[in-house]
Amino acid sequence: MSLTERLVQIVGPGYVSTDADVLAGLSVDHTGRYRGRAGLLVRPGSADEVADVLRACRDAGAYVTVQGGRTSLVAGTVPEHDDVLLSTERLRDVGDVDVLERRIRVGAGVTLAAVQRAASAAGLVFGVDLAARDSATVGGMASTNAGGLRTVRYGNMGEQVIGLDVALPDGTVVRRHSQVRMDNTGYDLASLFIGAEGTLGVITTLDLRLHPAPRSRVTAVCGFADLDALVEAGRAFREMDGIAALELIDARASALTAEHVGVSAPVEGAWQLLVELAGDTDQTERLAEALDDARLAGEPAVGVDAAAQQRLWQVREAVAEVLGVYGPPLKFDVSLPLSAIHPFATQAADLVAAQAPDAIPVLFGHVGEGNLHLNLVRCVLDADTEHALYSAMMELIAGLGGNVSSEHGVGSRKRDYVSMSRSDNDIAAMRAVKAAFDPTGYLNPAVLFD
Amino acid sequence: MSLTERLVQIVGPGYVSTDADVLAGLSVDHTGRYRGRAGLLVRPGSADEVADVLRACRDAGAYVTVQGGRTSLVAGTVPEHDDVLLSTERLRDVGDVDVLERRIRVGAGVTLAAVQRAASAAGLVFGVDLAARDSATVGGMASTNAGGLRTVRYGNMGEQVIGLDVALPDGTVVRRHSQVRMDNTGYDLASLFIGAEGTLGVITTLDLRLHPAPRSRVTAVCGFADLDALVEAGRAFREMDGIAALELIDARASALTAEHVGVSAPVEGAWQLLVELAGDTDQTERLAEALDDARLAGEPAVGVDAAAQQRLWQVREAVAEVLGVYGPPLKFDVSLPLSAIHPFATQAADLVAAQAPDAIPVLFGHVGEGNLHLNLVRCVLDADTEHALYSAMMELIAGLGGNVSSEHGVGSRKRDYVSMSRSDNDIAAMRAVKAAFDPTGYLNPAVLFD
């Protein structure tokens, strides 16, 4: 029996496709920068079907690339070997919210927005938010340990996952759920699958933690004449009780949003910081005191009601929209010690000026975690120049004590640079774990390892 | 060359012992309940020496049991096979506190109390506190993912570990340190060693997160006539911003502290709850409001200054002292859904009344995590009866949706019960990880797996 026949047997004829147009569409990432080749699409409808699909592919010697919402920014779902594409799109169950224990069980193919809606309807909030919320799936977000706008308050995606089902490369399913918050009965396998980018198994179901909705919220956007003053303020703000967002936006980002979306920064200063506090009690006075202590370029804009807060968030939200106005930007997602943010901004700008003089370098991101996004807008380079620039940037980051990969993960885009952030022994240990779960290396072969 | 000669070569003659008295003392756990057999003691002085010791032992076919502060309550460090005892006591470096990044680097053999002192001297706090603070080492605490009195605020030990060195069973050292808080560059290996109870490698150095010291703190002890009212209040308190402690103490515990230490519960009610809020601002009013909403048995005792707070903590702290007044108690450390706390208390009491009628069942623990400690004080049973009672208790816990092991870990005491909380596939995946790191199974062979 051919692999196709075997897969049809497992999932039913409606859920296997070899249509060339379908496969071509799924073989390019959503930025259009990275393109691969797939042989077949299979869409299993349950954890057991996922496991059976994996076993069949392994036995047939086929490579498998897992696809969720396909919002990876590091080519995490681009097949390289005529792979079988395993889509999680049918794993769409949204369970009831357990209000008492603040949790919900969902399928891996459920979008972030759907989880947010379910939480909201129950008077709770989900701890992760990011721009791709309407497409990104919780399975992919767990597999990449996604971060986002609320990490400073609630942690990353991994910290929201309190249970999961995973189909392993050997075709078995590990179901790891606990009704309690403390569970020290053996290895923390869940953490191993979080951030493993699908190389150790396919997450099919997740129990997600939900949080009480804060009763009170206050937001401010403040401007700084120099980056050191912003970093100093950010360092103070991130230690505050109730810190709920801490977003940097540079002048080029707000110039782009003004030009293309008609949304302008509400305050003076080349460097802007959006800060939000939330909690059980009114935080307005505490925020005002903290802003008084910061070296601002002018008066901050403070929003105490929802409408004003939404206006303050507009520039930050619009940044994601305008990055692509001149075609796919060249993206760098990095983590830096706060003390390295200023040196990085300066040296990265120099690098760009030298190697991509026509590009517009846009810097924004999550100051609480030192997690910055540098986007080179209008960056059209030949492959060699792009590669040289990319590598030089990775070296710059590693040299400043940063991580070459932050909330976007490694994908295939950064696999050659992992050794800048991880030692040989560390990578050898990772390979040992990979070999323990997937000795033939057929699952998500393009990502993480070079 | 004999293994002893080889080990002397690695660590020096002063740090290898075959003294029978020394070995006998280290082969019994500190409760005196569990006794094993050791062949040799080795005390390496660095990560590289630990790695060399491991390689030598593996090559010689010797079993190795790792010992830190030897405060395990589940016989986690009792050797069963004439093992080599590998002590971390010489890994005692305490690095400088990095106040800006709120972190400290320490050796695995450093005690919790020493870390707390270093943090305090820098105006910061460490996020874990527990009764064994003067003996428990951070290496052991990380290996068991210890919990304690502050988990409800800061999480477990694992959530404090932001970097580590680990000597692997193959004699290599993985050094995993990051200067930044976001690190999604590959597998989260650190989480794999946290809670692995030394079966995958020996943690030798840790980077620990420190926290800002709260500017304000308020403590209350309140009494409840029935356990349901306490659980209901605990559920509300644990959701509050700034919750810093949430400790249950039953009437038998406070009767014992009154009798043996002269410390009495300060309020009426068979079930007592110590609740503490801490934060940047004064929490007294919020706590008063929350106490107003609870169904208390009488007026709560509220402490707003440090002296009053210390008095309120006395009963809770004294519980640890009095458990052993009639010899080693039989201890159960379990996690339960909050809704199962009352059924557990009732059914466990019935079980004890039937099978150990002379024992005094004492219940206390951390309500935020549903992490309870049931201690059978004055419990003298023959081995068969004890085994039957222990197993029945584990079954009761599993049947109520709890975990058979909570903050104390599995050790050798509970290895036969892991399958009550973990499925066969889950255990098979754990074994695959163990085999990847330690194919001959020579490292900490007595714990975790049956």
B448 in reach of chain A (CB within 8 A)? yes
Cα angle A325, A327, A328; round to 5 = 110
The answer to whether residues A177 and A136 belong to one domain is yes
Distances (CA, A) of A308 to A253, A303, A328, A407, B313: 21, 5, 32, 29, 45
Q: Please report the pLDDT score of residue A157 as a whole number.
A: 96
The answer to whether residues B317 and B336 belong to one domain is no
Domain boundary among A212, A233, A267: A212
B151 in reach of chain A (CB within 8 A)? yes
Contacts of B339 in chain A (CB under 8 A): 100
CATH number of the domain residue A294 falls in: 3.30.70.2190
For residue A161, which of A185, A141, A134, A137 has the smallest C-alpha distance? A141
The answer to whether residues B270 and B292 belong to one domain is yes
For residue A313, which of A263, A262, A367 has the smallest C-alpha distance? A263
Q: Please report the pLDDT score of residue A334 as a whole number.
A: 87
Q: Please report the pLDDT score of residue B265 as a whole number.
A: 85
B183 in reach of chain A (CB within 8 A)? yes
How large a percentage of chain A has pLDDT more than 70? 100
The string of DSSP letters for B370-413 reads TEEEEEEET----HHHHHHHHHHHHHHHHHTT-BS--TT--TTT
Contact at 8 Å (CB) between A442 and A61?
A: yes
Distance from CA of A67 to the nearest CA of B (A): 18
How large a percentage of chain A has pLDDT more than 90? 88
Q: What is the pLDDT of residues B149-167, one digit of tens each?
A: 999 999 999 999 999 999 9
pLDDT of B183 over the 80 cut: no
pLDDT of B438 over the 80 cut: yes
- Tell me which residues of chain B, numbers 412 to 441, contact chain A at a CB-CB cutoff of 8 Å: 414, 418, 421-423, 425-430, 432-433, 435-437
- Tell me which residues of chain B, numbers 281 to 310, contact chain A at a CB-CB cutoff of 8 Å: 281, 286
Mean pLDDT rounded to a whole number for chain B: 94
CATH number of the domain residue B194 falls in: 3.30.465.10
The answer to whether residues B226 and B201 belong to one domain is no
Q: What is the CA radius of gyration of chain B?
A: 22
Chain length of chain B: 450
In a domain, B342, yes or no: yes
CB contact under 8 A, B369 and A180: yes
CATH number of the domain residue B374 falls in: 3.30.70.2740
The answer to whether residues B352 and B399 belong to one domain is yes
The answer to whether residues B184 and B222 belong to one domain is no
In a domain, A92, yes or no: no
Q: Please report the pLDDT score of residue A33 as a whole number.
A: 82
What count of CB pairs under 8 Å joins A to B?
222
Q: What is the CA radius of gyration of chain A?
A: 22
User: What is the average pLDDT across B420-425?
Assistant: 91
User: What is the average pLDDT across A91-97?
Assistant: 97
Q: What is the pLDDT of residues B285-302, one digit of tens each?
A: 999 999 999 999 999 999
Residue among B176, B335, B436 whose CB faces A182 most closely:
B335
For residue A312, which of A232, A244, A215, A222 has the smallest C-alpha distance? A222
pLDDT tier, B140 (very low <50, low <70, confident <90, very high otherwise): very high
Candidates B185, B416, B424, partner chain A, best to mutate (most A CBs within 10 A): B185
**Backbone φ and ψ of B87, nearest 5°:** -95, 140
Say which residue, B372 or B179, is predicted with more confidence.
B372
pLDDT of A42 over the 70 cut: yes
What b/e readout covers B85-99, taking b as 16+ CB neighbours within 10 angstroms? bbbbbbbeeeeebee
Return the bridge partners of B111, or none: B137
Q: Please report the pLDDT score of residue B443 as a whole number.
A: 98
B192 in reach of chain A (CB within 8 A)? yes
Distance from CA of B127 to the nearest CA of A (A): 14
Contact at 8 Å (CB) between B344 and B294?
A: no
In a domain, B32, yes or no: no
pLDDT tier, B182 (very low <50, low <70, confident <90, very high otherwise): low
A204 in reach of chain B (CB within 8 A)? no
The answer to whether residues A142 and A234 belong to one domain is no
Domain boundary among A180, A212, A244: A212
How large a percentage of chain B has pLDDT more than 70? 100
- Tell me which residues of chain B, numbers 79 to 118, contact chain A at a CB-CB cutoff of 8 Å: 100-101
CB contact under 8 A, B281 and A279: no
Closest residue in B to A200 (Cα) is: B187
Q: What is the pLDDT of residues A316-361, one digit of tens each?
A: 999 988 998 998 899 998 899 999 999 999 999 999 999 999 999 9
Contacts of A181 in chain B (CB under 8 A): 335, 368-370
Q: Please report the pLDDT score of residue A371 as a whole number.
A: 92
CATH number of the domain residue A11 falls in: 3.30.43.10
Q: Please report the pLDDT score of residue A37 as a whole number.
A: 95
The answer to whether residues A208 and A237 belong to one domain is no
In a domain, A414, yes or no: no
In a domain, B44, yes or no: no
User: What is the average pLDDT across B350-362?
Assistant: 96
Q: Please report the pLDDT score of residue A182 as a whole number.
A: 65
Contacts of A406 in chain B (CB under 8 A): 180, 182-184
Distance from CA of B258 to the nearest CA of A (A): 31
Contact at 8 Å (CB) between B154 and B167?
A: no
In a domain, A16, yes or no: yes
pLDDT of A449 over the 80 cut: yes
Contact at 8 Å (CB) between B181 and B77?
A: no
pLDDT tier, B429 (very low <50, low <70, confident <90, very high otherwise): very high
Rounded Cα gap, residues B176 and B428, in angstroms? 27
Closest residue in A to B124 (Cα) is: A239
Domain boundary among B194, B212, B230: B212
In a domain, B176, yes or no: yes
Residue among B196, B369, B418 whose CB faces A182 most closely:
B369
Q: Please report the pLDDT score of residue B142 as a whole number.
A: 97
The lowest-confidence range among A136-145, A381-390, B184-193 is B184-193
Q: What is the pLDDT of residues A235-285, one digit of tens each?
A: 999 989 999 999 999 999 999 999 999 998 889 999 999 999 999 889 999
In a domain, B287, yes or no: yes
Mean pLDDT rounded to a whole number for chain A: 94
CB contact under 8 A, B433 and A436: yes
The answer to whether residues B201 and B117 belong to one domain is yes
A383 in reach of chain B (CB within 8 A)? no
The answer to whether residues A254 and A190 belong to one domain is no
Strand-pair category, A103-107 with A330-335: unpaired
User: What is the average pLDDT across B245-270?
Assistant: 94
B399 in reach of chain A (CB within 8 A)? no
Return the bridge partners of B220, or none: B275, B302
B20 in reach of chain A (CB within 8 A)? no
Contacts of A279 in chain B (CB under 8 A): 241
Per the structure, how many domains does chain A have?
4
Contacts of B184 in chain A (CB under 8 A): 144-145, 195, 403, 405-410
Q: Please report the pLDDT score of residue B185 as a whole number.
A: 86
Domain around B264: 216-322
The answer to whether residues B202 and B248 belong to one domain is no
Rounded Cα gap, residues B258 and B264, in angstroms? 5
The answer to whether residues B164 and B151 belong to one domain is yes
- Tell me which residues of chain B, numbers 260 to 279, contact chain A at a CB-CB cutoff of 8 Å: 279
